[in-house]
Amino acid sequence: MKHISPIWAEALPPPLPTHPGGTLRCDVAVVGAGFAGLSAALHLLRRRPGARVVVLEAGRVGAGASGATTGMLSPGVGQDLPGLIRRLGPGNARALYLATLDAVRDAERLARDEQIACELELCGQLVVAGHRSRRLERFTAALAGLGLPFEPRPGAVRLPVAGTLHPGKLLAGLVARVTKLGGVILEGSRVRSVGTTQPVSLELEHGTVVADEVVIATAGFTPGLGVLTGRVLPVHLQVLVTAPIAHPWPGREGVLDARRLFSYWRLTNDDRLVFGGGRPRYRWRGSTAPLAPKSSLERELHHVFPDAHVEGGWTGVIGYVADALPAIHRWTRNPSVVHAVGWCGHGVALSLASGAWVTKLLCDGAAPQDLPWFRAKPPHVPFEAVRWLSFRAAVGAMSLFDRMERR
């Protein structure tokens, strides 16, 4: 499999300055320049015009999942809706799902209000099954039972509040808006440690940033900061890109299949497929070093699109949480720090929406809603061997259940 850079990268802005060395003082430091970090910076600057907001990015803007994503703007969270109902009860599961629908609409509003041309289209999403699928039936029944929006289709369900976007163009637009409002974005500025006193001292490789408040938006890289270790797991996802296909489907919806280990795909503006799926990978000690996509993903793609020509693929790291819910919280031991992490592969809408939630936590001291993802600590998986083994076991079990359901 040819490993290429994400196709979105060509839309990213030119390189930005690095930390100049010495000590930099600011009002708010945001760690991570993906959707979550840039959205937080933008919302903070809108709320507090003139604030000194500095975004610290270890690599380039979009170096994490946001630059590698498939770019499908989806409702829902990492756990499926029937599972959420069992766990939280129908009322709470409905409130949570409605909040994710709002997150999709918020992302669309953000792009519109800030005039970011990122090919964002609320073209809907199809959840499909190539055979009779009890999972799809259960999902449809759950949507119907909770009075949530969906349109039944033969062998599929259409979710009307969903869409696709161009991640590179969105990142470039967010960078432009943040800098226009006076925010400073520093690339090549990896934070090594987060202080525990106020003001908060962030140690970098070549310098220090001292901030009154800090937002941690580092998704799958969070344990590398010594934060939420064993609670947020770096997990590698993979996608492929094809040459333009001859017969794109008329509605141009993003599509995912109804399996536990699902494939998902979308069209680009020039009718190429960006196709993700296969087994997510957790590496020993949570390594985030880049991987190549597995050749098995190409077989999955050709199962759905036999004639598509694969041009290459890439991987990216997400922040996975054992109970598949995000964690957005103002630290109890140091209320000047907020983290917004753990999107579990469903992060385009949620990470973008989290900028407003983080701003509310910092400026008003309260979460916007009483939802289960406003929490300090997702479940802890102790010991590296347990993390590694349990992740592999969970993925293996999902694959087995999927195969059994096909019989």
Ligand X SMILES: Cc1cc2nc3c(=O)[nH]c(=O)nc-3n(C[C@H](O)[C@H](O)[C@H](O)COP(=O)(O)OP(=O)(O)OC[C@H]3O[C@@H](n4cnc5c(N)ncnc54)[C@H](O)[C@@H]3O)c2cc1C
What does the binding site for ligand X look like in residue numbers (CB under 6 A)? 31-37, 56-59, 63-66, 68-72, 74, 190-191, 217-221, 224-225, 237, 239, 264, 276, 316, 318, 343, 345-349, 351
Q: How far is CA 19 from CA 23, 54, 151, 227, 242, in A?
A: 9, 10, 50, 22, 38
Give the nearer residue to ligand X in terms of CB position, either 1 or 405: 1
Nearer to ligand X, 349 or 362 (CB): 349
Residue with tokens 């039944």: 152
Closest distance of CB 266 from ligand X, Å: 7
Smallest separation (angstroms) from ligand X to the CB of 288: 8
Nearer to ligand X, 68 or 310 (CB): 68
Instruction: Specify the residue for token string 């962030």.
Output: 202
CB of 161 to ligand X, least distance (A): 13
Looking at the Cβ atoms of 175 and 308, the one nearer to ligand X is 175
Q: Which residue's Cβ has the minimum distance to ligand X? A: 347
Please give the radius of gyration of the chain, using alpha carbons only, rounded to the nearest integer: 20
Its sign, for the CA torsion 398, 313, 266, 61, is: positive
Q: CA nearest 117: which of 282, 292, 269, 291?
A: 269
Of 145 and 160, nearer to ligand X (C-beta) is 160
Three-class secondary structure of residue 213 per DSSP: strand
- What span, in angstroms and rounded, lies between the C-alpha atoms of 227 and 221? 9
The CA-CA-CA angle for residues 241, 340, 15, to 5°, reads: 55
Rounded to the nearest angstrom, the gap between the alpha carbon of residue 130 and the centroid of all alpha carbons in its chain is: 27
Type of residue found at 31:
V
Give min distance, CB of 334 to ligand X, in A: 17
Least distance to ligand X, CB of residue 272, Å: 15
Pick between residue 7 and residue 129 the one whose CB is nearest to ligand X.
7
C-alpha closest to that of 83 among 148, 160, 158, 138 = 138
Q: Taking the C-alpha atoms of 353, 37, 12 and 256 in order, what is their torsion angle to the nearest 10 degrees? A: -40
Minimum CB distance to ligand X smaller for 133 or for 218: 218
Least distance in Å: CB of 132 to ligand X? Answer: 26
Q: Rounded to the nearest whole angstrom, what is the least distance from the CB of residue 262 to ligand X in the complex?
A: 11
